[in-house]
Amino acid sequence: MNRCLKIAVCLSLVLISAGCGRVGLVYNRLDTLARLQLGRYIDLDAAQKAQFDQQFDALWRWHRSEQLPRYAAELRQLQTLALTPISPATLQPLGDQLRRHARTLTAETLAALAPTLASLRDDQVRALLAKLADDRERQARKQARLSDAKWREQRADTAIDRLDDWAGSVTPAQRQRIEAWAAQLQRDDDQDDARDQVGRQQFEALLRQRREPGFSDRLVGFALAPFDEPEPDATRDRTRQLLADLSALATPRQREHLARRLGELADELDALATSR
């Protein structure tokens, strides 16, 4: 996704961060976390802060009451599936489901953020764009120092860490399968840079029209465009096959560990949905 959407993505990730550990501790402090994320990019005045708080509170209530119960129900379906090997065909609807959730959350987050962006002064817009450009330059320098081999190693390490967290200790066979998957990954920094440049230009053009009618709809449309881009078949198929192979290689203890984690998370999301 274009890096110009980083603010909205951060806010979206704040809303779904419940899946990353101490659910209630994080979720019940989302308003504070959201302000901190936004504050990294925009220095809002008092009126803008009040407006953002109001919009985010409505987004938060929607997510708590409507989305968390759906996540919980789907996690319980996954809990059942986790007890047996999963085929690539079974993974397809699960991936589509996850993409729909991400699309919905992105749309709602951008719609909530739109009034605050529309209220920005010209100096705030310049500061925001400068911060985004600085972030991109820093990331580009970091990527340039990273060899292809190290890049693939990092991708493998990330996948291994996630599997270890959710399913318990990774077996040698699973580690080998992940490393083989990472070895096939293709890196294209030039294409990513070109796509990002186009995105920055589009975002800057949107901000120039922030006080014109229809700004919110245009902003949401801009944010959703990446979701409508087809994923390369080879990339999609390799990812599904990796997950299916890891499932087939799972030990009984790993299956039980994963099912328990999914069930515990579902229970906590249900509890959060009815709190406050």
pTM for the model stands at 0.86
Per-residue H/E/C for the chain: CCHHHHHHHHHHHHHHHHHHCCHHHHHCCHHHHHHHHHHCCCCCCHHHHHHHHHHHHHHHHHHHHHHHHHHHHHHHHHHHHCCCCCCHHHHHHHHHHHHHHHHHHHHHHHHHHHHHHHCCCHHHHHHHHHHHHHHHHHHHHHHHCCCHHHHHHHHHHHHHHHHHHHHCCCCHHHHHHHHHHHHCCCCCHHHHHHHHHHHHHHHHHHHHCCCCCCHHHHHHHHHHHHHHCCCCHHHHHHHHHHHHHHHHCCCHHHHHHHHHHHHHHHHHHHHHHCCC
Mean pLDDT of 139-161: 93
| pLDDT digits 0-9 by tens, 106-122 | 999 999 999 999 999 99
pLDDT over threshold 80, residue 196: yes
Percent of the chain with pLDDT over 70: 92
Closest to 56 in 3D by CA, of 106, 113, 102: 113
Mean pLDDT of 4-33: 62
Work out the number of other CB atoms within 10 angstroms of the CB of residue 232. 10
| pLDDT digits 0-9 by tens, 48-70 | 999 999 999 999 999 999 999 99
- More confidently predicted of 22 and 182: 182
What value does the mean pLDDT of the chain take?
88
6 to 113, 135, 242: CA distances (angstroms): 12, 10, 29
